[in-house]
Amino acid sequence: MFAACDRAAATLALTTRYRRTIAAPAKQVVQLALLLLIAQAAPVSLRDAARAALRHPKVTACASATGVAEARRDEARASELPSLTIAAQLNRGTGNVVPGSAFATPGTPASAGPPRGAAFDGGSWTTIVSLGASVEVTELVRRMRDVDAEVASVEGARDREALCVLDAAYEASAAFLDVAGLVAAAKAVDADRERAEALRVRAAALTKASLRPATELAQADAELAGAEGRAASLRRELRLAEARLADAMGVTEIPAIDPSPPRIVVGPDALDEHPQSRSAAKEITASEWRIASARTGYLPRLEIAAALWARGSAYPGAVGERLGESGSGLAPDVANWLVGAVVSWDVFDLPQTRARVARAHAEAAGTRARYDVVRLTLANQLGGARESASEAEVVVQRTAPAVEAARMALTQAEARYASGLVDFLDVARVRQLLTESELAHIAAEVALARSRILLARAAGDVGALTQER
């Protein structure tokens, strides 16, 4: 199908390049391209439906959720960096302001000194250029554990994205099997309608020749009307199933369906490798790191800070001269540095820390319970899918001979009817038996394929659906 699409696109490109005389609006050109694609597309198989579902908008939404988780992880990693502040300040105050006084600046130690006279003017300029750095060690430990939790959350988001892909492929495959089964059933019912019509023609001829009673012609008309009603009902169901398939594939229209039984080979199942199981396990890891992050609240706060700054303050020296080369204070010519560590512990924060730790433990317990539920559900789905597939194979093997036997019985009944050995109702019952046998065989094949795609979904094997292994 994809090769046919490429040929259609190439044909459209040549048309728009070399046939400049066709001045069609852009909308008509797009419609022409779509018509070419639909006309040249091959019948859609189960593999095509599953692959088309991988480009569904809901899969894109799952991928965007993974992007959000990655952004949160990067944000948490960026918070591990220490504080580094570059600042500059220019001040001037009254004469009684201590030279070197400045507004509070992050990363710059405060300056103090004895006050001078009470003159409202006659003050000096103050300039400060600083470079300060600090790191809260306890907070850094907490943030590192938050980063580990976010890393586990990102891995869980990727597994949920893989689960979204698996579900999209499974839903498209299930919708495809519904359509394929109805297409095959519609063909069987159409064949039954043709047989009813042929039998009606034969009954009319025999009735006209007075070889059969008129009631048989009425019975033939009723059988034909019933067959036409069943065909119309199946066509209606088929249109609804095609709409569901188009929605599962993420398209508005679908070409013809290949109703042949798909070949689905499921690989070895491993519960630990299922994306749903992996996602639940990653959530457990993230919850454990959140517990460790909450426990850092019990630790005392330790902050290490360092500052390197220069200031010009016009501050008088020991013998009255100004400190630094600039007597006005406009040039930051006096260098300073300071290094220190601060330890503090908020006693009344302990109840909140205890509550945060308890909440983290409760969330972790819920996460572990959800993981157990996922494992139990997947194990039951695997077991049920295996048994269903085995039983469906037996049903297919038993319904196939029934179809052949019913066809032979109908051939014999029609020959006996033409010879006058049986009446019309005998032929109608055999014809109905053939139709029921064909529909039962079709339903068995669809049930077998559905059991296999369910097994692929339970095993987490999206490759079995897309056939990309």
392 within a domain of the structure (yes/no): yes
273 and 373 in a single domain? The answer is yes
pTM, entire model: 0.73
List the Cα angle 99/103/106 in 5-degree steps. 125
Interval 62-79: pLDDT, tens = 999 999 999 999 999 998
Average pLDDT, the chain: 81
Residues 119 and 177 in one domain: no
Pull the structure tokens for residue 166.
């698996």
User: Nearest 5 degrees, angle CA 309-CA 314-CA 316?
Assistant: 110
Do 270 and 373 share a structural domain? yes
**H helices within 45-136, ranges in order?**
46-53, 57-78
Same domain, 104 and 19: no
Q: What is the pLDDT of residue 179?
A: 92
- Strands laid side by side in the 301-312 sheet: 83-92, 125-136, 301-312, 334-344
Query: What CATH number should be reported for the domain holding residue 385?
Result: 1.20.1600.10
Match 């064909």 to its residue by tokens. 438
Q: Would you say residue 139 lies in a domain? A: yes
**Within a domain: 291:** no
Whether pLDDT at 357 is above 80: yes
Residue 242 pLDDT exceeds 60: yes
Task: Please check whether residue 443 lies inside any domain of the structure.
Answer: yes
Say if residue 261 is in the same domain as residue 327: no
Please check whether residue 455 is in contact with residue 266, taking contact to mean a CB–CB distance below 8 angstroms. yes
The answer as to whether 292 is a domain residue is no
pLDDT(315) > 70: no
Three-class secondary structure assignment of 257-304: ECCCCCCCCCCCCCHHHCHHHHHHHHHHHHHHHHHHHHHHHHCCEEEE
Q: Which pLDDT belongs to residue 467?
A: 78
Q: What is the pLDDT of residues 184-228, one digit of tens each?
A: 999 999 988 888 888 888 888 888 887 778 888 888 888 889 888
| Alpha carbons 31 and 38: distance in angstroms, whole number | 11
Q: Are residues 127 and 188 in the same domain?
A: no
Q: Please indicate, yes or no, if residue 93 is contained in any of the structural domains.
A: yes
In tens, the pLDDT along 362-374 reads 999 999 999 999 9
Q: How confident is the model at residue 21 (pLDDT cuts 50, 70, 90)?
A: very low
**CA-to-CA distance for 223 and 197, rounded, in angstroms?**
9
With both helix axes pointing from N to C terminus, report the angle between 46-53 and 214-249 in degrees, rounded to the nearest 10. 40
Which residues partner with 311 through β-bridges? 128, 334
Same structural domain, 229 and 316: no
Instruction: Tell whether 158 and 60 lie within a shared domain.
Output: yes
pLDDT (0 to 100) of residue 11: 40
95 located within any domain: yes
Both 228 and 115 in one domain: the answer is: no
Do 183 and 244 lie in one domain? The reply is yes
Number of domains observed in the structure of the chain: 3
Instruction: Provide the domain limits for residue 134.
Output: 86-144+299-349
Pair 403, 278 in one domain: yes
More confident residue, 261 or 427: 427
User: Is 250 within a domain?
Assistant: yes
Q: Do residues 179 and 308 share a domain?
A: no
